[in-house]
Each structure stands twice: as structure tokens, then as C-alpha cells.
Amino acid sequence: MIADALRFIRFSHTVFALPFALGAMLVAADGLPSAKLCGLIVLAMVFARTAAMLFNRIADWEMDKRNPRTAGRHKLLPRPAAIALLAASTAAFVLTAWQINPLCLYLSPVALGMIFVYSLTKRFTHYSHFFLGFALAVAPVGAWLAVKGAFALPPLVLALGVVLWVAGFDIIYATQDHDFDRAEGLHSLVVKMGIPRALTVAKVLHTLAFALLGGFGWFAGLHAPYAIALVPIAAALVYEHRSVRRLDVAAINRAFFLSNAFVGLVFVAGVACDVFLR
């Protein structure tokens, strides 16, 4: 049951947002904050992401049944159980934010609204990919606020980079559903522009995202270790786009998970090396 629930919410994809939250946390604290705060930040990220995925699954329940790619999802977890788990993870996120600081508590409904709204956007806008990006960009800003209790330029630059990075890889992922989305009247840049032009947009977005990752390092005062980490990140982005040129489903899935997980892990490793080796 637990394994099915984890598959239902794609728990392994937590690796996309969490490294950026941890990187922002390390920079904000200029090292590791207290063990308690580290734990609370990780819990907040896990609870928020779990709630977001459950909301997405529930909102798309009937639609996913009709999509050949997602037709088996609803069999992993009964809908009442998914609703109950959504309520529990949402409450757990708010309670965790309350334990961090008052600002995080006050902003927790805003964060939840941002991560929930993505699931509805493909019904009315071709720019749903950017809403997903904003949902994941909550992670680094939230981690910074957990440590500092105030906004600053570095996490906002990083958040914008995350928005564009996520939008780019979500466009790539959406190519798998081009025919289904058109038939269902759903929206995406892939539907609006066609697959070749949409993939060109994804390349532009990833180029801009890479520049913003460099900008984050500049504004955060990071040095050589972080700059060195940007090299394999660039290589992973190039590999991702080369892998999807033939529009092979296996290649898309491989590029989606492996390349993007690699980007996040190398990012946080570069930040950690920079912060701890000064």
C-alpha cells in the first residue's frame, strides 16, 4: 500500500525541487542551520510536494483514466484514500510552517494556492508549464524565508531560474501527450505551437535558466566550486535536448528524470562545496 502510494505521487520526483530548497538554505545560513530547522525545511518541502501531487491526481482523475500514458494511475490508490492523504499532507505542511516562523505560517496558504493552481491551468491556458515552474520555485524562496525570515534578491533570481528550467522540461514532457491533449481540448505550448517549435522554446528557456543559475551564484557571492558545478549542469541540459530529438518515449522519460535529477543534485553539491570549503 505504501509503495503504491509513493508511486501514485511520484515521490521520486521530489528530487527536482528539494535540491534548490537545500541550496537556498545553505546560502541563507552560510552553512548548515540547526538540525531542527533543516528537518523542518525538508518536511515542509515533502509535505507541500505530496499535497500538490495528490491535488493534481484528484483533479485529473477521470482525464487520466482516458489517457493511455496514465490510465493505470487511479488503480494505485482509491480516490477516498487520496483525498484523505491530501488533507493530511496539507495540514502537515501548514503545521510545519507554523513551527518554522510566523512569516512562513502566514505565507503557507499562498504557497499552497500556487502549487495547487497548476493542476487546473491546462484547462484554460497554453502557458501551464510556467505555472508548474512557479509551483516548484516556491521551494527555494520558502527555504530562504525559513532561515532569514525576509525576502532577498538571490533566492528570487534562483526562483526565476527554476521557473524557466521547469517550464522547459515540462514542455519536453508534454510532447508525449500532444495527440491526447488536442483531442481532449487541453492546452499546452506543444498543442499551440506544434512539437518542433515548442522544443525550440524549451531550448531557449533552458538557456535562460542556466544564465539565471549563474546569476544566483553571482548575487549569492559564490565562487569557483559553484562555477565548476555549472559545467556538468550545462552538459546535462544539452544531453536532455539531444535525447528528445527523435521523440522516442523512452528517451523522453529518461531525459526527463535522469537529466533533471542530475541538474538538481549537482546544483546543491556545488553550493555545498562552495559554502563549506571557503
* Domains in the chain: boundaries: 2-276
Q: How many residues are there in the chain?
A: 278
pLDDT of residue 248: 66
Q: Classify residue 68 as left (phi > 0), alpha (psi -120 to 50) or beta.
A: alpha
pLDDT of residue 90: 98
Burial 98-123 (b: 16+ CB within 10 A, else e): eebbeebeebbeebbebbbbbbebbe
Residue 55: CB atoms within 10 A of its CB come to 22
Which of 184, 188, 173 has the alpha carbon at shortest distance from 62? 184
Q: In what helix (H) or strand (E) does residue 59 lie, and over which residues does it extend?
A: helix 35-59
Q: Cell triple for residue 30?
A: 552560510
Residue 1: CB atoms within 10 A of its CB come to 8
Question: Taking the chain (278 residues) in consecutive chunks of 10 residues, what is each chunk's mean pLDDT?
Answer: 67 80 98 97 95 93 84 81 95 98 97 95 95 96 97 98 96 90 92 94 98 98 97 94 74 75 96 94
Query: pTM for the whole thing?
Result: 0.94
pLDDT of residue 55: 95
pLDDT of residue 278: 77
Dump the DSSP string for 60-126.
THHHHHHSTTTTTGGGTS-HHHHHHHHHHHHHHHHHHHHHH-HHHHHHHHHHHHHHHHHHHHTTT-T
pLDDT of residue 132: 95
Which CATH homologous superfamily contains domain 2-276?
UbiA prenyltransferase (1.10.357.140)
